[in-house]
A and B are shown apart, each in its own frame.
Chain A
Amino acid sequence: MSQTLLRVKNLHTVFPIESGEVRAVNGINFNLDRGKVLGIVGESGSGKSVTAYSILRILDNPGRISQGEILFEDEDIVKMPIGSVRQIRGAKISIIFQDPMTSLNPVYTVGNQLMEAILLHTKRNRKQAQERALEMLKLVGVNEPDKRLKQYPHQLSGGMRQRVMIAMALACEPDILIADEPTTALDVTIQAQILELMRDLKDRMGMSIIMITHDLGVIAEMCDEIIVMYAGRICERGIVDEIFYNPRHEYTKGLLRSIPKITAAHERLTPIGGSPVDLLNMPAGCPFSARCDQAMKVCLTEYPEEIRVAQEHLASCWVNVRDGIRYEGGEGARTNA
Chain B
Amino acid sequence: MPEHLLEVKDLRQHFPIKTGFFRKTLLKAVDGVSFTIDKGETLGLVGESGCGKTTVGRSILRLYTPTGGSVKYKGDEIDDSNIQRFRREMQVVFQDPYSSLNPRMTVGDIVGEPLDIHKLYTTPGEREEKVANFLQLVGLNADHKRRYAHEFSGGQRQRIGIARALAVDPEFIVCDEPVSALDVSIQAQIINTFEELQQKLGLAYLFIAHDLHVVQHMSRRVAVMYLGKIVEMAPADEIISSPRHPYTQSLMSAIPIPDPKKARVRRRIVLEGEVPSPLNLPSGCAFRTRCRYAIDQCVTQTPELMVMSPGHEAACWNPQNN
Contacts and interface: CB of A to CB of B under 8 A. Distances in A.
Interface string B229-262: 0000000110010000000001101111111110
A310 interface: no
Interface string B195-224: 100000000000000101110110000000
A215 B213 CA distance: 12
A271 B236 contact: no
A188 B210 contact: yes
Interface string B132-167: 000000000000000000000101100000000000
B274 A160 contact: yes
A220 B266 CA distance: 12
Nearest to A192: B254
Contact of A240 (B186, B195, B260, B274): B260
B233 to A, nearest CB: 17
Nearest to A187: B48
Contacts, number: 126
A259 B48 contact: no
Given A271-B192, A275-B156, A188 B251 contact: yes
Contacts of B236: 265
B59 interface: no
B228 to A, nearest CB: 16
Contacts of B256: 191-192, 195, 215, 217-218, 220-221
B274 A190 contact: yes
Interface string B252-279: 0111111111010000101101110000
B251 to A, nearest CB: 6
Nearest to A195: B256
The dominant DSSP class at the A interface is helix
Contacts of B259: 220, 244
Interface stretch (A10-18, A59-67, A87-95, A250-258): A250-258
Interface string A75-93: 0000000000000000000
A202 interface: no
Interface in A182-210: 187-193, 195-196
A43 B189 CA distance: 15
A188 B256 CA distance: 8
A220 B264 CA distance: 9
A123 B192 CA distance: 58
Contacts of B187: 258, 271
Given A217-B255, A260-B191, A260-B216, A241 B260 contact: yes
A241 B261 CA distance: 8
Contact of A219 (B213, B237, B258, B261): B258
A276 B191 CA distance: 17
A261 B210 CA distance: 15
| Interface-central residue, A215, A220, A262, by most chain B CB under 10 Å | A262
B238 to A, nearest CB: 11
A273 B190 CA distance: 11
Contact of B191 (A195, A241, A262, A269): A269
Contacts of A261: 213, 258
B49 interface: yes
B112 to A, nearest CB: 24
B185 interface: yes
Interface string B44-84: 00001100000000000000000000000000000000000
Contacts of A270: 188
B258 A259 contact: yes
A244 B262 CA distance: 12
Interface size range of chain B in the complex: 35 or more
Contacts of B191: 260, 269
A189 B48 contact: yes
B270 A269 contact: no
B184 interface: yes
Interface string A237-252: 0001100110000000
A268 B195 CA distance: 9
Contact of A262 (B189, B213, B263): B213
A8 B274 CA distance: 39
B296 interface: no
A193 B270 contact: yes
Given A160-B274, A188-B255, A192-B254, A269 B217 contact: yes
B261 A254 contact: no
A262 B270 contact: no
Contacts of A157: 274-275
A335 interface: no
- Counting chain A CB atoms within 10 Å of each CB, the highest count among B48, B214, B236 belongs to B48
Contact of A269 (B188, B240, B253, B258): B188
Nearest to A193: B270
Contact of B192 (A158, A193, A266, A269): A269
Nearest to A260: B217
Contacts of A103: none
A55 to B, nearest CB: 23
A265 B260 contact: no
Contacts of A256: 258
A101 to B, nearest CB: 13
Given A220-B260, A262-B216, A214 B183 contact: yes
B310 to A, nearest CB: 19
A295 interface: no
For the complex of A and B, 8 pairs with smallest distance between CB atoms: A217-B256, A271-B188, A192-B254, A187-B48, A260-B217, A258-B188, A272-B185, A216-B258
Interface of B: 48-49, 153, 155-156, 183-189, 191-192, 195, 210, 212-214, 216-217, 236-237, 240, 250-251, 253-261, 263, 268, 270-271, 273-275
13 contacts: A43-B185, A189-B48, A189-B251, A192-B268, A196-B268, A220-B257, A221-B263, A258-B185, A258-B187, A260-B191, A262-B216, A269-B192, A273-B189
